[in-house]
């Protein structure tokens, strides 16, 4: 699956999302109509997209939006960025502070809720779809191991994350992510 097909799949799932069917469930349904090879290709593109926003500035945005953000939660946040679709994903990748304009972030901040964007289940859509096809979700992990064994993956360098900074320093957060900090920080001390 190439990048264009990946984002088309994401948009198809977004279009099928309803109040009764969250994005991750719609994504599993969409992927389950594909071949096992397509599902593996989807997971490869998903990992690339998630890895591309594995940066300190994006993590800081997640920290503000979520009222804190562990490494596991940051994985869920990156999945949620992907679930927003290509336009919002690209905007957040270019300038994470722009998430202050996203309607769900605004609504969550105004209601003092911290669940906007985080989507844990979206991380497991490929395995769910693969399991639906084969009857056993564990089949995905065996197929994934074989799929990735044949590909070279570049090692992740912590320098790729950009400059590290203290997320608990309100002044620094206001400096680096002014719109999100103004929206999300309960303590407006600068």
> What's the pLDDT score for residue 89?
98
DSSP readout, 110-139? HTT---SS--GGGGGHHHHHHHHHHS-THH
Each residue's pLDDT tens digit, 112-158:
888 899 999 999 999 999 999 999 988 999 999 999 987 766 666 55
Q: How far apart are CA 99 and CA 106, in angstroms?
A: 9
Q: Is the pLDDT of residue 182 over 70?
A: yes
Q: What is the mean pLDDT of residues 38-58?
A: 96
Q: CB within 8 A of 80, min separation 6: which ones?
A: 117, 118, 119, 122
Structure tokens, 190: 């600068």
CA angle 48, 116, 64 (to 5 degrees): 85
**Residue 175, CA distances (Å) to 11, 64, 180 in order:** 34, 13, 10
Q: What is the mean pLDDT of residues 13-36?
A: 97
> What's the pLDDT score for residue 183?
95
DSSP 3-state helix, strand, coil percentages of the chain (rounded to 5)? 70, 0, 30
Each residue's pLDDT tens digit, 71-104:
999 999 999 999 999 999 999 999 999 999 999 9
> What's the pLDDT score for residue 155?
61
Q: pTM to 2 decimals?
A: 0.92
> What's the pLDDT score for residue 156?
60
> What's the pLDDT score for residue 65?
96
């Amino acid at each position: 699956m190439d990048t264009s097909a990946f984002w088309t799949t994401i948009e198809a799932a977004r279009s099928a999302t309803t109040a009764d069917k969250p994005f991750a469930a719609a994504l599993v349904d969409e992927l389950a109509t594909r071949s096992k090879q397509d599902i593996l290709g989807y997971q490869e593109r998903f990992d690339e997209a998630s890895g591309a926003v594995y940066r300190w500035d994006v993590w800081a945005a997640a920290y503000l939006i979520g009222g804190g953000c562990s490494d596991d939660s940051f994985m869920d946040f990156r999945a949620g960025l992907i679930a927003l679709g290509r336009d919002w994903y690209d905007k957040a990748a270019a300038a994470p502070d722009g998430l202050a304009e996203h309607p769900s972030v605004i609504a969550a901040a105004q209601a003092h809720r911290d669940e906007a964007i985080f989507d844990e289940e979206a991380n497991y859509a490929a395995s769910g779809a693969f399991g639906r096809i084969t009857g056993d979700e564990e089949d995905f992990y065996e197929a994934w191991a074989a799929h990735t064994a044949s590909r070279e993956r570049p090692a992740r360098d912590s320098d790729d994350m950009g400059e590290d900074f203290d997320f608990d320093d309100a002044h620094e957060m206001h400096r680096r992510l002014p719109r999100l900090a103004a929206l999300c920080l309960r303590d407006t001390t600068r």
